[in-house]
Structure 1
Amino acid sequence: MYQTELHDEEFSRFQRWLHHTAGIELSSTKKALVASRLAKRLCHYELDSYDDYFQLIMNDRSSELQLALDLLTTNETYFFREPKHFEFLAREIIATLPPDQKLRVWSAASSSGEEPYSLAMTLAEKRSAFNWEILASDISSRVLEQAMSGRYPIERAQNIPQPFLLKYCLKGVGLQEGSFIIERKLRDKVQFMQINLNQDLPDIGMFDVIFIRNVMIYFNKETKGQVLQRLLPRLKPGGYLLVSHSESLHGLPHGLRLVSPSIYQKG
């Protein structure tokens, strides 16, 4: 039977691995979370220790390694989180661009899709369907699968403005009762891609707006700086970068202009 205790030296191995792989800093307060999230995998493989599981994922560079990464990355999110950002997008960015100018937005820590679909609803209200697109990326393949489905429990709809809920969401019936799904036309406007911000970025082009919210908080200062240096070349001159209200780029080399708290513009 697998052990229920995660020893300090075992936890340290997972800390170092997660920081090296994803840039995420796991504090000592997360020890119980790591133990609980990985316990079922120990049981699945009938392993005697967390160290045995660590050795297993180090020798498995495919499915189980990705699953462990999925389990240990935090993915709490909800629709229209920090609504002032969506108001700024609609009022200060979309409204000031020529209607024929294509707008590209990157949700760089998209989790299970609530942020990019919130962006899509905002854009769909203000722009024609042909001149905007959204890239949504995350390190976790598990949450990206959920995001691509566009289906959520009905209680997740509570922060969606009522007009958007009626216009862009379909309530499940029959076997799908208790859930809702983002309408197909809106889902088709969002491209999902697995991207690790702690590694060199793939060729994804340039963006007018980059949302990088509620992820920098998990990085140390050095990693934050490295991630920024990967993101900034992807931001067009005059483009905007938005972080969470609980985050700041203070003390980091970025060369951006602070427009308002948590909103930055490239010169």
Structure 2
Amino acid sequence: MNSNHSDGPVLPAGCARPGPMSQKLFDRMSRFVYEQVGIKLPGSKRVMLEARLQKRLRVLGMASYDQYVDYLFTEKGFDEELRNFIDVVTTNTTEFFREPRHFDYLTATLLPGWTADAVRLRAQRPLRVWSAGCSIGMEPYTLAMVLRDYQERTPGFSFSILATDISSRALQQAVRAVYDEERVHNVPDQFRKRYLLRSRDRSRRLVRIGPELRSAVRFERLNFMDPFSFSEPMDIIFCRNVIIYFDKPTQEGLFSRFCQCLRPGGHLFIGHSESLTGMALPLEQVAPTVYRRTR
């Protein structure tokens, strides 16, 4: 649904803010968020939720959080507003070359090992990579830079990248691939020159990912709480700084499903603040927050 859709008159600028959200209503919405997307909203997030929902109330011409929830829980509201609501409650924090040691491991260890195995087994096929929880696209485009650079130096190497997120708004920005110039400060100079396009109007201070990389990434919307599978298993899964919003049982269940989608010998990368400790998973650690699927 287009976020500009309105079922009522837009409240004029400067109109009174809605009253505080009751604890009962917050609890109801918290349960709904957990059921829909697996995210736990502790009581400390109530003020955040109020602030983020105010824009949706203005767009829909609603005067209270109760009115919004009553609409959301109707069949029409569920169909038309749920994606906007999910965009409100999800957080899209990301940057290019975030946690750079992962990309160092990819370049120095994983990719040479992959190439050696392909030569030994005489099996030339694309390396399949999944950026799970890709936000506005900075992670998959970072992967595309690293993999394209390796491809240019390695005859016969090819790859495909799938990038998914639950937020329709984030995916729209990822596909557009336009970012503020200040957001690319972590991109190495040689990659900036090769893969980034600067706006002709330099005063706008915008850059866009070049078409070579945009065509290398396929974006799709995916809710981790829905069933998912792939026609062929993945060789690499990046799911970083995503599970911190889930409780422990949801985390373990999600990583178990990731393992089912990961080829034996394939690699899983998680965020440096995350841990798989205590989870019964067919994974062995090969580097900090890097795991390999056991055979």
Indicate whether the TM-score tops 0.5.
Answer: yes
2:175 is matched with 148
Q: 2:292 is matched by which residue type in structure 1?
A: Q
2:283 is matched with 256
1:63 correspondence with 2:104: no
2:257 is matched with 230
Q: In the TM superposition, what is the alpha-carbon distance from 1:175 to its structure 2 partner?
A: 8.2
Counterpart mapping for 1:216-227 below 5 A? 216-227=243-254
Q: In the TM superposition, what is the alpha-carbon distance from 1:44 to its structure 2 partner?
A: 2.6
1:47 correspondence with 2:68: no
1:6 correspondence with 2:30: no
Indicate the SS of the match to 2:18.
coil
CA distance in 2, matches of 1:135, 1:176: 33
Aligned counterpart for 1:28 among listed residues 31, 43, 59: 43
Indicate the SS of the match to 2:73.
helix
Aligned counterpart for 1:93 among listed residues 110, 129, 133: 110
Deviations 1:133-164 (Å, cap 9, x if unpaired)?
A: 10000001110010001110111111111111
CA contact (8 A) 2:145 2:213 kept: yes
1:109 is matched with 133
1:122 is matched with 146
CA contact (8 A) 1:213 1:244 kept: yes
Q: In the TM superposition, what is the alpha-carbon distance from 1:176 to its structure 2 partner?
A: 7.9
Q: 1:228 is matched by which residue type in structure 2?
A: F
C-alpha spacing 1:176/1:109, structure 2 compared with 1 (3 Å) = farther
CA contact (8 A) 2:259 2:282 kept: no
Q: In the TM superposition, what is the alpha-carbon distance from 1:52 to its structure 2 partner?
A: 1.4
1:178 correspondence with 2:205: yes
Q: Which 4+ runs in 1 deviate beyond 6 A?
A: none
C-alpha spacing 1:179/1:134, structure 2 compared with 1 (3 Å) = same
CA distance in 1, matches of 2:33, 2:194: 40
Indicate the SS of the match to 1:252.
coil
Rg (Cα) greater in structure: 2
CA contact (8 A) 1:58 1:65 kept: no
Q: In the TM superposition, what is the alpha-carbon distance from 1:45 to its structure 2 partner?
A: 2.6
CA contact (8 A) 1:2 1:42 kept: no
TM-score when normalising by structure 2: 0.86
Stretch of structure 1 that moved more, 22-31 or 234-243? 22-31
Q: In the TM superposition, what is the alpha-carbon distance from 1:5 to its structure 2 partner?
A: 1.1
CA contact (8 A) 2:230 2:261 kept: no
CA distance in 1, matches of 2:183, 2:19: 33
Q: In the TM superposition, what is the alpha-carbon distance from 1:101 to its structure 2 partner?
A: 3.9
Indicate the SS of the match to 2:274.
coil
1:206 correspondence with 2:233: yes
Deviations 1:75-109 (Å, cap 9, x if unpaired)?
A: 01110100001111111111222264421110001
CA contact (8 A) 2:178 2:208 kept: yes
Deviations 1:241-266 (Å, cap 9, x if unpaired)?
A: 01000000111121200112211101
Q: 1:27 is matched by which residue type in structure 2?
A: P
CA distance in 1, matches of 2:222, 2:25: 27
Aligned counterpart for 2:271 among listed residues 244, 247, 266: 244
Q: 1:166 is matched by which residue type in structure 2?
A: K
Q: Could you tell me the percent identity over the aligned residues?
A: 37
CA contact (8 A) 1:80 1:86 kept: yes
Q: In the TM superposition, what is the alpha-carbon distance from 1:168 to its structure 2 partner?
A: 0.4
Aligned residues: 267
RMSD (Å), alpha carbons: 1.7
> Which runs of 5 or more structure 2 residues have no equivalent in the other structure?
1-15, 119-123
Q: 2:150 is matched by which residue type in structure 1?
A: K
